[in-house]
């Protein structure tokens, strides 16, 4: 039997996290996580919760009173929204164009709902006219559910006109913003979104463990009018609302205190930079990365106009052992990128540029490592060409010109 002396201190190796998540974490967030604990009903801690709600409202671009950080990862946010808004027998239209649309359909089924799947090829998005057709054909429909940023494919789903369409057909509009929040605009009120959830470990650059979540008054009314109680006590938003309500603060469960410290600091960093500047940074670094990858024979999976800047999904040239290259990146350079899922396994890489991971230096570091590995495998690579293509993108960008002015 092992004794205490058999266990050494665990010191994780330094990694450059450029996969689909988690992302790098700012030192200020790490410092916040190490602060002394308060009780989860301490008045000082309750004040911190109010600050988090205000910061989240600004990040989601909403005035929704029910805007919280749910205890659990982004998948908990997904399950909470579905379990609370979908009842047995409810029909819900769900866009299925990747892993997470598929997962949403499964959760709808497990809640007793009837998922009406609108399928699209992986790497593409769900057309608005297809949603309208199904809303008419399948009426009455309780909700339309879409993934804003499909992490398995790098596809960017347009949302701007969906909310009005849903309201015209008396349907709720539910959005998965796990990978998009803090990286590209998420306009909850303007787009008429009734429930939107995210995760802390992507573009917000906080460790995994919380799910930012906002529900409109229309969505909360549907939750309060359920015919049967939510099947999950822990994720029952009508109960959790009473803990986050500034007027009641009824105990529900012990909040993850340290994680909430970290999220507050991560959100402060987001708003110190500013959401428009943050969006521009993600796009610029993605453009530079894609310019460099193009010289190595790697091309984006989604079509133009549908490509996420924070999750770059690229197809691989023939004859490359993608798993071996990813292993060498991790072992020799300490860089993590992601492989493909489902039907894309072995065919794509998923390269994350999320939050703190989205840096000029990280783009160049990755391109240099990929060039070196590809050259060692005998592939036709011109040394320095990928980094030069990225550097040219930075030099030619309007943002770069403004910084030099």
Which CATH number do you get for residue 343? 3.90.1150.10
Q: Provide the percentage of residues in the chain whose pLDDT is more than 90.
A: 89
Integer Cα distance of 57 and 244 in angstroms? 14
Whether residue 202 is found in the same domain as residue 303 = no
- 5 pLDDT above the threshold of 70: no
Whether residue 134 is found in the same domain as residue 214 = yes
The model's confidence at residue 380, banded by pLDDT at 50, 70 and 90, is confident
Q: Residue 404's pLDDT is what?
A: 35
| Low-confidence winner among 158-162, 180-184, 258-262, 397-401 (lowest mean pLDDT) | 397-401
pLDDT digits (tens, 9 = 90+) for 42-56: 999 999 999 999 999
Whether residue 300 is found in the same domain as residue 213 = no
Whether residue 341 is found in the same domain as residue 390 = yes
Whether residue 13 is contained in a domain is answered as no
Whether residue 81 is found in the same domain as residue 118 = yes
Location of structure tokens 């106009």: 305
Q: Residue 247's pLDDT is what?
A: 75
Integer Cα distance of 362 and 358 in angstroms? 7
Whether residue 267 is found in the same domain as residue 280 = no
Integer Cα distance of 312 and 315 in angstroms? 10
Judged on CB neighbours under 10 Å (0-12, 13-18, 19+), 395 is: exposed
- What ranges make up the beta strands (E) of 159-291? 172-176, 195-197, 210-215
Domain-ending residue, one of 241, 271, 301 = 271
Bridge partner list, 314: 300, 349
Phi/psi at 210 (nearest 5 deg)? -130, 155
Whether residue 16 is contained in a domain is answered as no
Supply 142's token pair: 């309780």
- What ranges make up the beta strands (E) of 149-269? 149-150, 155-156, 172-176, 195-197, 210-215
Question: Across residues 133-157, what is the average pLDDT?
Answer: 98
Angle at 204 (CA atoms; ends 47, 70), nearest 5 degrees: 50
Angle at 318 (CA atoms; ends 313, 319), nearest 5 degrees: 120
Whether residue 258 is contained in a domain is answered as yes
H or E segment and range at residue 114: strand 114-119
Location of structure tokens 């054909």: 137
Could you please report the per-residue DSSP string of 347-378? TEEEEE--GGG--HHHHHHHHHHHHHHHHHTT
Location of structure tokens 């309007």: 398
Whether residue 163 is found in the same domain as residue 40 = yes
Judged on CB neighbours under 10 Å (0-12, 13-18, 19+), 57 is: middle
Whether residue 236 is contained in a domain is answered as yes
Range of the domain at 104: 27-271
Q: Residue 277's pLDDT is what?
A: 97
| 142 closest CA partner among 82, 187, 216, 191 | 82
Q: Residue 403's pLDDT is what?
A: 46
Q: Residue 381's pLDDT is what?
A: 87
Domain-ending residue, one of 256, 271, 286 = 271
Q: Is the pTM of this model over 0.85?
A: yes
Whether residue 112 is contained in a domain is answered as yes
Whether residue 233 is found in the same domain as residue 140 = yes
Tell me how many domains the chain contains: 2
Supply 167's token pair: 């309201």
The model's confidence at residue 230, banded by pLDDT at 50, 70 and 90, is very high
Angle at 273 (CA atoms; ends 268, 274), nearest 5 degrees: 95
pLDDT digits (tens, 9 = 90+) for 269-294: 999 999 999 999 999 999 999 999 99
Sheet holding 114-119, edge to edge: 66-71, 210-215, 195-197, 172-176, 143-147, 91-96, 114-119
Integer Cα distance of 91 and 360 in angstroms? 45
Integer Cα distance of 405 and 402 in angstroms? 5
Contacts of 274 (CB under 8 A, 6+ apart): none
Question: Across residues 229-254, what is the average pLDDT?
Answer: 89
Angle at 316 (CA atoms; ends 314, 320), nearest 5 degrees: 150
Whether residue 208 is contained in a domain is answered as yes
Whether residue 267 is found in the same domain as residue 137 = yes
Q: Contact at 8 Å (CB) between 312 and 301?
A: no
Judged on CB neighbours under 10 Å (0-12, 13-18, 19+), 246 is: exposed
Question: Across residues 336-354, what is the average pLDDT?
Answer: 97
Whether residue 287 is contained in a domain is answered as yes
The model's confidence at residue 3, banded by pLDDT at 50, 70 and 90, is low
- 1 pLDDT above the threshold of 70: no
Strands 311-315 and 338-339: unpaired
Q: Residue 217's pLDDT is what?
A: 97
User: Which range is most confident: 3-7, 352-356, 376-380?
Assistant: 352-356
| 85 closest CA partner among 236, 203, 264, 190 | 236
Whether residue 281 is found in the same domain as residue 211 = no
Q: Residue 399's pLDDT is what?
A: 63
Domain-ending residue, one of 249, 271, 293 = 271
Whether residue 384 is found in the same domain as residue 262 = no
Could you please report the per-residue DSSP string of 55-95? HHHHHHT---SEEEEEES-HHHHHHHHHHHH--TT-EEEEE
SS3 232: coil
Integer Cα distance of 72 and 41 in angstroms? 19
Question: Across residues 66-70, what is the average pLDDT?
Answer: 97
Whether residue 241 is found in the same domain as residue 330 = no
CATH code at 264?
Answer: 3.40.640.10
Question: Across residues 27-43, what is the average pLDDT?
Answer: 95
Q: Residue 295's pLDDT is what?
A: 96
CA 60 to chain centre: 13
Location of structure tokens 């320095």: 384
Q: Residue 299's pLDDT is what?
A: 96
CA 29 to chain centre: 18
**Mean model confidence pLDDT for the chain:** 95
Whether residue 207 is contained in a domain is answered as yes
| Low-confidence winner among 135-149, 203-217, 234-248 (lowest mean pLDDT) | 234-248
Q: Contact at 8 Å (CB) between 244 and 214?
A: no
């Amino acid at each position: 039997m092992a004794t205490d002396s058999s266990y050494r201190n665990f010191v994780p190796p330094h990694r450059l996290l450029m996969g689909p998540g988690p992302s790098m974490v700012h030192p200020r967030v790490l410092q916040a996580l190490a602060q002394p604990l308060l009780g989860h009903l301490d008045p000082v801690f309750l004040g911190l919760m109010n600050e988090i709600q205000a910061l989240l409202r600004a990040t989601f671009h909403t005035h929704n009173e029910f805007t919280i950080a749910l205890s659990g990862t982004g998948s908990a946010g997904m399950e909470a929204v579905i379990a609370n808004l979908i009842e047995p027998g409810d029909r819900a239209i769900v866009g299925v164009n990747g892993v997470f649309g598929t997962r949403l359909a499964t959760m709808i089924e497990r809640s007793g709902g009837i998922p009406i799947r609108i399928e699209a090829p992986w790497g593409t998005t769900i057309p608005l006219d297809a949603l309208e057709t199904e809303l008419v054909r399948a009426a009455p429909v309780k909700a339309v559910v879409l993934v804003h940023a499909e992490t398995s494919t790098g596809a960017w789903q347009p949302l701007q006109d969906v909310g009005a369409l849903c309201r015209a057909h008396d349907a709720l509009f539910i959005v998965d913003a796990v990978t998009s929040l803090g990286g590209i605009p998420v306009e909850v009120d303007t787009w008429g979104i009734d429930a939107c959830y995210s995760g802390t470990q992507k573009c917000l650059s906080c460790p995994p463990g919380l799910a930012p979540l906002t529900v409109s008054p229309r969505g909360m009314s549907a939750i309060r009018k359920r015919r049967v109680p939510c099947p999950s006590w822990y994720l029952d938003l009508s109960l959790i609302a009473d803990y986050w309500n500034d007027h009641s603060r009824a105990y529900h469960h012990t909040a993850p205190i340290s994680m909430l410290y970290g999220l507050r600091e991560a959100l402060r960093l987001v708003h110190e930079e500013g959401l428009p500047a943050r969006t521009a940074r993600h796009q610029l670094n993605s453009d530079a990365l894609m310019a460099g990858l193009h010289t190595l024979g790697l091309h984006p999976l989604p079509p133009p106009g549908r490509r996420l800047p924070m999750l770059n999904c690229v197809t691989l040239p023939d004859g490359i052992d993608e798993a071996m290259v990813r292993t060498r990146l991790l072992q020799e350079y300490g860089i993590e990128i992601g492989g493909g899922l489902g039907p894309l396994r072995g065919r794509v890489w998923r390269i994350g540029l999320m939050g703190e991971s989205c840096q000029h230096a990280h783009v160049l570091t990755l391109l240099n490592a990929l060039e070196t590995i590809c050259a060692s495998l005998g592939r036709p690579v011109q040394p320095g060409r990928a980094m030069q293509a990225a550097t040219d993108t930075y030099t030619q960008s309007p943002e770069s010109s403004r910084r030099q002015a």
